[in-house]
Chains A and B, each alone.
Chain A
C-alpha cells in the first residue's frame, strides 16, 4: 500500500514536468516551427577553433557561442523544439530543487510560473536561445552553490565570480543577486564578507577588463550578451522575469499560511498548480502563433530551396499582403518566366517594394535584396548585398551560399574555395559545401550546373555603375546592353505597369518581340489592350506579337461593368473583383 502511495506521489510530482515537456515540444514543433527556421538562418555556427576564440574574446562571448551552437541544431525544427523544451523543463527542475533546498518543502508554483513565462517568451521568433541558456546556467550555478560549496569550499563561488562574468557576461548578475540575497537571508557568519568579496572581485575584474583588456564600450561590457532585440523586444516580460528569478531565495522563505494549510492536507492541491499553469499557458500560447510570419518564413524556406512553383501555388492558395512575401513571390514568378502573366494575381506595392528592395544597411533588407539582382544576372550586385550583409550582421548559411555561388559564377574560384571551406566547417552544411567543392576550378562543371550555369549565361554583358537607390533604373542599363535578357524586361514591364504607364509598356513591345517572345504576357497584354481601346496613343509596328480577341472582349466586358457602376467606386470594385481582380485594369482603377 505504501509502495502504491509512493508511486502515486512520484507520479504527481513528475507528471507536470512530463506534460510540460510533451506539450512544449508539440506546440513548438507543430505550430511555431518557423521560429527555428528563422533563427537557424540568422547565424552560422562554425566548429573551428578560431571561431571559438573570436567568440570568447569578450565577456559574455562564451554564452553567445553556446547559444549559436544550440541554434545550429534548429536545422531540424523538431530537434530544436526538444532542446528548447528540455532547457525550460531543466529551469523548472532546478528552481524546484533550489526551492526545496531553501524552504525544505517541494515547490511547484514558482518553478512552473518561471518556466511558463520563459516558454511564453520563447514563442517569439526573435527570442534567442542564449537567454534561456544564460538563465539556466546561472540557476544551476546557484543550485550548486547552495548544495555543494560548504565549509572550506564556500568561498569558491566568490572567487569564481569573475570567471562567471567573463563566460556569461551580464547573465552572471543573476547569480550575483541570487547569491547576495541568499547570504542575507541565510545570515551566516561570513555572509557579508562573501558578498563584499564577490562584489570586489567582480568590480576589480570589470575595471581591469574595461581599462586594459577589452576593446568594447563600457555600456557593451556591462550588458553583453543581453540585447533587447535578442529577446524579441519583450523587455517588459523578460526583465521582470529576471527580477522574479533573482529574488527567489526570498520568495522561497515566505511561508504563507494558506499554503501551509493546503500543504498540511493530504490531497495534493499544490501539485495540481502546475497543471493549471500549463493549461493557462496553452490558452495564452494559442494567441502567440504568428500567422503572418509563419506564412512568410514558409515562403522563404521554399525560396531557399528554389521551389518556385510551390511558392506561387502556396501564395495563390493563401494570399498574403506581406511585402517581403510578395517580393519573393515575384522573384519566383520571374525565375519561372511568369512575372508579367501573374503579376496582378498577387497584391503589389505601388512604390515597387514588392519588386525590389531599396538599399538599407541597417535592417534585414540587405539579406534579401540581393536576390532581385541575382535573378536579373547582376551577379556583382547580388554579391555586394550578400557581402555587406555579412559585414553588418555576420555570416549566415544562405548569405554564405550566395557568396559562394556568385564567386563560382564569376570564376573567382580561390575566393569561392575560402567561403566553401567555411561552409564545410559547420554542422549541417558540410554536404552542401562538398557539392560546391566539386565546382571549384572547373568552368565546365559550373556551366553545366542547372542554376549556376544558367546564371553565368545570363550575366549582364556590359559594365555600368549600379544605382542601388534606384533599382528600376538598372533595368534600362541591362536591357540596353542585352535586349534578350527577358527577366530584366519582365521586371521593367512590371515596374511600368505598377506606375500605370501604358504608353511605356506599349513602347517595349518591339523589344519584347526581339527577345523572341511569341505571346504577349497576360498582364502586359491587358495594358496594351487598354491602351488601344482607350485610344491613348499609336501602336508600334510589330511583326508577330498581337493581342488576342478574348482579351479585347474581356476588356470591353470590364469596361461595361465599370461604366455601369461609375457613380459608386466601391460598388464597381465589388462588381469587378470577382472576375478581374488579377488584371492590370483592376489595378489601374482601384489601387
Chain B
C-alpha cells in the first residue's frame, strides 16, 4: 500500500515537472523557422491589434514560446499541445514598448525528452493604429438558401464579437450588404430581403427602414456607397442570376443581366438615375466615391444580349465628376481598360487620401468571390499606373476596404481552404506597397480549421454601431419609408 502511494506521488511529480519545465540554454538548434498556424511570421502589425494566438504545427511533447526582445519584458508561454494563447494585457504592453521596432518569437519544441529551438521569426510593430472595429457578414458560403445570417462587430483590439444584426430576429429574412460612410458608424446601412425587406439606415442611433425601389425602377437598389457628405448614397441596381457549374472548381456563377446606377438623396428622400447610361448600352455597377466626393467611380461592361456567353462579360473602371451642390454629373471617363486585357474589374475602393484605388481583377464577370484567379490591384490615381499588390494568393482575394488612416487594408481571401473567405489585414506603406497580410486573429488559433461560415464584406469602423434586437424588430415591423423617383 505504501509502495503504491509512493508510486503515485512519483508519477505526479514527474507529470508536474514535465508540465512546468522549460528549455535551458542547451537546446539543440533547428535550422528552420517553425511551422505555425495561422502564419503570423514576418508581419507588420498595427499597434492596437489583439494577440496573434497561433498553433505550432511541429511534432512535439511540449512547446515553449518567448515573445519579445528583452528578457525582462518578454512574454513566455508554455503549451502541451502547441496552442499558444498570448495574454491580452501583456501583449498590449509588449506592442506599446516596441512601436516602430520589431518583436521576436523564439519557439522551442520538446521532442523525445530534449528541447529544440527553431529559428526565430519577427513582426514589425507599426505606430499606425488600425480602426478598432471590424464589421462583417457571417453566412454559409452556400448557393441560394440561408437560415442564419448575421452582421457582426468584432473588436480588433480584443476578441470580443457582438451581433449587430441577426436575421433570426426578423423571421430569417436575408440580411445583405452593409456599408458605412467612411468608417463612421453614425452613417450605417444594410439591406434586408424577405417579408420585412427594405434598406435600413442608422442615423444618430435611430434605425429606419426604406423601400428603395420605386415603380420606375426595373430592379431594386443593391451595392451601396455613401457620399462623404452623408446626404447621398449611390447604388447599383442589378438584375442578378446565378447558375451552378456541373464540374468547374468555382461551382457557382453569379452574373448581372442588366445594371444601372442610381442615387438616393436622403435629404429630399428621392431616388434618381445617375445619367451616365441613358441609352442603356452598358451595365454599370459597384459605385465608389472619391474621399472628396467629387468623383464617382464605377465598373462598366457592354450590355449583354440574348445568347450571351458569361465568360465574355468584362468590366472596365470608369469615373464621372459629381457636383454635389447641384447634384449634377459630368460625362464618364475611362480610368482602367480591363476588357482590353481580357480581364474584368470589380469593387473599386479609393484610399482615404484619394491617391490610389484598389480593385479586384479577375477573368470575367462581376462576382469575383467565386473566382479563384481574383486578385487585388492598385491604381495610382495620380498617374493611373497599375500594379498587382503583394498580398495576393493562389486563391480568391477579393472584397477589400481601407482603414480610416489609409494604412491598413482588409480583404476577403479564400487562401485557407478555397471555400470559406477569411478577413486578412495588410499594412500599406507610404509607397502604396502592401505588406504580408495576416488573418484576423482569434482567441482559439484553430478556429478557422473548423468554422464553416464565411466572412463577407469586411469593413473597418471607428466606433461601435449600437442598436438592440428590440429596436431592430420594431424598425422591421414598421412600414418602409417610400422615396419618390426624381426625373433628372
Q: Note all chain B residues with C-beta closer than 8 A to A465.
A: 243-246, 253
Q: Which of A215, A381, A412, A478 contacts B469 (CB 8 A)?
A: A215
The reply to whether A463 and B142 contact each other, CB–CB distance below 8 Å, is no
The reply to whether A468 and B450 contact each other, CB–CB distance below 8 Å, is no
Q: Which of A199-254 contact B (CB under 8 A)?
A: 210-218, 220
A 467-489 binary contact with B (CB < 8 Å = 1; else 0): 01000001001100000000000
Known: A391-B145, A422-B450. A212 touches B473 (CB 8 A): no
Q: Note all chain A residues with C-beta closer than 8 A to B251.
A: 380, 383-384
Q: Note all chain A residues with C-beta closer than 8 A to B163.
A: 215
Q: Note all chain B residues with C-beta closer than 8 A to A461.
A: 247
Q: Which of B248-265 contact A (CB under 8 A)?
A: 248-249, 251, 253
Give CA–CA (A410, B469) in the complex, Å: 41
Nearest residue in A to B148 (C-beta to C-beta)?
Answer: A391
Q: Taking the nearest CB of chain A, how far is it from the CB of B310, in angstroms?
A: 9
For residue A414, CB closer than 8 A to chain B, the reply is: yes
Known: A381-B246, A390-B140, A412-B419. A214 touches B469 (CB 8 A): yes
The reply to whether A466 and B245 contact each other, CB–CB distance below 8 Å, is yes
For residue A570, CB closer than 8 A to chain B, the reply is: no
Q: Which of B143-171 contact A (CB under 8 A)?
A: 143-147, 150, 163, 165-166, 168-171
Give CA–CA (A387, B251) in the complex, Å: 12
B 210-225 binary contact with A (CB < 8 Å = 1; else 0): 0000000000000000
Q: Note all chain B residues with C-beta closer than 8 A to A383.
A: 251
Q: Which of A384, A412, A466 contacts B418 (CB 8 A)?
A: A412
Known: A211-B470, A217-B171. A380 touches B244 (CB 8 A): yes
Give CA–CA (A397, B364) in the complex, Å: 38
Q: Note all chain A residues with C-beta closer than 8 A to B170.
A: 217
Q: Which of B146, B246, B470 contacts A391 (CB 8 A)?
A: B146
Q: Taking the nearest CB of chain B, how far is it from the CB of A587, in angstroms?
A: 31
Task: Tell me if A's interface is mostly helix, strand, loop or mixed.
Answer: helix
The reply to whether B469 and A210 contact each other, CB–CB distance below 8 Å, is yes
Q: Note all chain A residues with C-beta closer than 8 A to B473.
A: 217-218
Q: How many A-B residue pairs have CB under 8 A?
A: 108
Known: A216-B169, A392-B147, A418-B417. A474 touches B470 (CB 8 A): no
Q: Taking the nearest CB of chain A, how far is it from the CB of B105, in angstroms?
A: 25
For residue B385, CB closer than 8 A to chain A, the reply is: no
Known: A217-B168, A392-B145, A463-B245. A212 touches B418 (CB 8 A): no
Give CA–CA (A395, B417) in the complex, Å: 19
For residue A459, CB closer than 8 A to chain B, the reply is: yes
Nearest residue in B to A410 (C-beta to C-beta)?
Answer: B249
Known: A211-B468, A415-B419. A391 touches B244 (CB 8 A): no
For residue B452, CB closer than 8 A to chain A, the reply is: yes
The reply to whether A463 and B247 contact each other, CB–CB distance below 8 Å, is yes
Give CA–CA (A27, B33) in the complex, Å: 63
Q: Which of B123-157 contact A (CB under 8 A)?
A: 140, 142-147, 150
Q: Note all chain A residues with C-beta closer than 8 A to B166.
A: 215
Give CA–CA (A146, B166) in the complex, Å: 41
Q: Which of A214, A217, A388, A459 contacts B247 (CB 8 A)?
A: A459
The reply to whether A391 and B142 contact each other, CB–CB distance below 8 Å, is yes
Give CA–CA (A425, B452) in the complex, Å: 14
Q: Taking the nearest CB of chain B, how far is it from the CB of A472, in angstroms?
A: 15
Q: Which of B146, B244, B248, B452 contacts A384 (CB 8 A)?
A: B244
The reply to whether B145 and A212 contact each other, CB–CB distance below 8 Å, is no
Give CA–CA (A128, B61) in the complex, Å: 44
For residue B416, CB closer than 8 A to chain A, the reply is: yes
Q: Which of A256-280 contact B (CB under 8 A)?
A: none
For residue B326, CB closer than 8 A to chain A, the reply is: no
Q: Taking the nearest CB of chain A, how far is it from the CB of B449, in angstroms?
A: 6
Give CA–CA (A468, B246) in the complex, Å: 11
The reply to whether B247 and A220 contact each other, CB–CB distance below 8 Å, is no
Q: Note all chain B residues with C-beta closer than 8 A to A217.
A: 168-171, 473
Q: Taking the nearest CB of chain A, how far is it from the CB of B271, in angstroms?
A: 30
Q: Note all chain B residues with C-beta closer than 8 A to A390.
A: 140
Give CA–CA (A477, B247) in the complex, Å: 12
Q: Which of B294-339 contact A (CB under 8 A)?
A: none
For residue A28, CB closer than 8 A to chain B, the reply is: no
Give CA–CA (A474, B244) in the complex, Å: 12
Q: Note all chain B residues with C-beta closer than 8 A to A211.
A: 468-470
The reply to whether B450 and A421 contact each other, CB–CB distance below 8 Å, is yes
Q: Taking the nearest CB of chain B, how far is it from the CB of A1, in angstroms?
A: 49
For residue A464, CB closer than 8 A to chain B, the reply is: yes
For residue A462, CB closer than 8 A to chain B, the reply is: yes
Q: Note all chain A residues with C-beta closer than 8 A to B147.
A: 391-392
Q: Note all chain A residues with C-beta closer than 8 A to B169.
A: 214-217
Nearest residue in A to B248 (C-beta to C-beta)?
Answer: A463
The reply to whether A421 and B469 contact each other, CB–CB distance below 8 Å, is no
Known: A415-B418, A463-B248, A465-B243. A421 touches B143 (CB 8 A): no
Q: Taking the nearest CB of chain A, how far is it from the CB of B177, in angstroms?
A: 19
The reply to whether A418 and B452 contact each other, CB–CB distance below 8 Å, is yes
The reply to whether A210 and B470 contact each other, CB–CB distance below 8 Å, is yes
For residue A517, CB closer than 8 A to chain B, the reply is: no
Q: Taking the nearest CB of chain A, how far is it from the CB of B93, in angstroms?
A: 29
Known: A211-B468, A213-B469, A421-B450. A414 touches B246 (CB 8 A): no
Give CA–CA (A410, B418) in the complex, Å: 12
Nearest residue in B to A392 (C-beta to C-beta)?
Answer: B145
Q: Taking the nearest CB of chain B, how far is it from the CB of A361, in angstroms?
A: 5
Q: Which of B353-410 contact A (CB under 8 A)?
A: none
Known: A212-B468, A217-B170. A460 touches B419 (CB 8 A): no
Give CA–CA (A141, B143) in the complex, Å: 45
Give CA–CA (A478, B247) in the complex, Å: 11
Nearest residue in A to B446 (C-beta to C-beta)?
Answer: A421
Nearest residue in A to B472 (C-beta to C-beta)?
Answer: A215
For residue A92, CB closer than 8 A to chain B, the reply is: no
Q: Taking the nearest CB of chain B, how far is it from the CB of A315, in angstroms?
A: 30
A 43-72 binary contact with B (CB < 8 Å = 1; else 0): 000001010000000000000000000000
Q: Note all chain B residues with C-beta closer than 8 A to A220.
A: 168
For residue A334, CB closer than 8 A to chain B, the reply is: no
Give CA–CA (A217, B171) in the complex, Å: 7
Q: Note all chain B residues with C-beta closer than 8 A to A215.
A: 150, 163, 165-166, 168-169, 469, 472
Q: Taking the nearest CB of chain A, how far is it from the CB of B319, in angstroms?
A: 34
For residue A506, CB closer than 8 A to chain B, the reply is: no
Give CA–CA (A217, B143) in the complex, Å: 25
Q: Note all chain A residues with C-beta closer than 8 A to B469.
A: 210-216
Nearest residue in B to A359 (C-beta to C-beta)?
Answer: B144
Q: Taking the nearest CB of chain A, how far is it from the CB of B466, in angstroms?
A: 11
Give CA–CA (A120, B453) in the complex, Å: 40
For residue A118, CB closer than 8 A to chain B, the reply is: no
Among A215, A378, A410, which residue has the most Cβ atoms of chain B within 10 A? A215
A 382-403 binary contact with B (CB < 8 Å = 1; else 0): 0110011011100000000000
Q: Note all chain A residues with C-beta closer than 8 A to B246.
A: 378, 380-381, 460, 462-466, 474, 477-478
The reply to whether A380 and B418 contact each other, CB–CB distance below 8 Å, is no
Nearest residue in B to A366 (C-beta to C-beta)?
Answer: B145
Give CA–CA (A75, B143) in the complex, Å: 31
Among B249, B418, B452, which residue has the most Cβ atoms of chain A within 10 A? B452
Nearest residue in A to B470 (C-beta to C-beta)?
Answer: A211
Q: Taking the nearest CB of chain B, how far is it from the CB of A92, in angstroms?
A: 37
Q: Note all chain B residues with C-beta closer than 8 A to A213.
A: 469
Nearest residue in A to B450 (C-beta to C-beta)?
Answer: A421
The reply to whether B470 and A388 contact each other, CB–CB distance below 8 Å, is no
Nearest residue in B to A412 (C-beta to C-beta)?
Answer: B418
Nearest residue in B to A414 (C-beta to C-beta)?
Answer: B417
Q: Taking the nearest CB of chain A, how far is it from the CB of B473, in angstroms?
A: 7
Given A380-B246, A414-B416, list of 6 further CB < 8 A pairs? A217-B473, A218-B473, A387-B140, A460-B247, A463-B248, A465-B246
11 residue pairs A–B, Cβ–Cβ below 8 Å: A48-B450, A214-B169, A215-B469, A216-B168, A220-B168, A361-B144, A380-B244, A390-B140, A412-B419, A415-B418, A464-B245
10 nearest interchain CB pairs? A215-B166, A211-B470, A414-B417, A215-B169, A465-B243, A463-B247, A466-B244, A463-B248, A391-B140, A391-B142
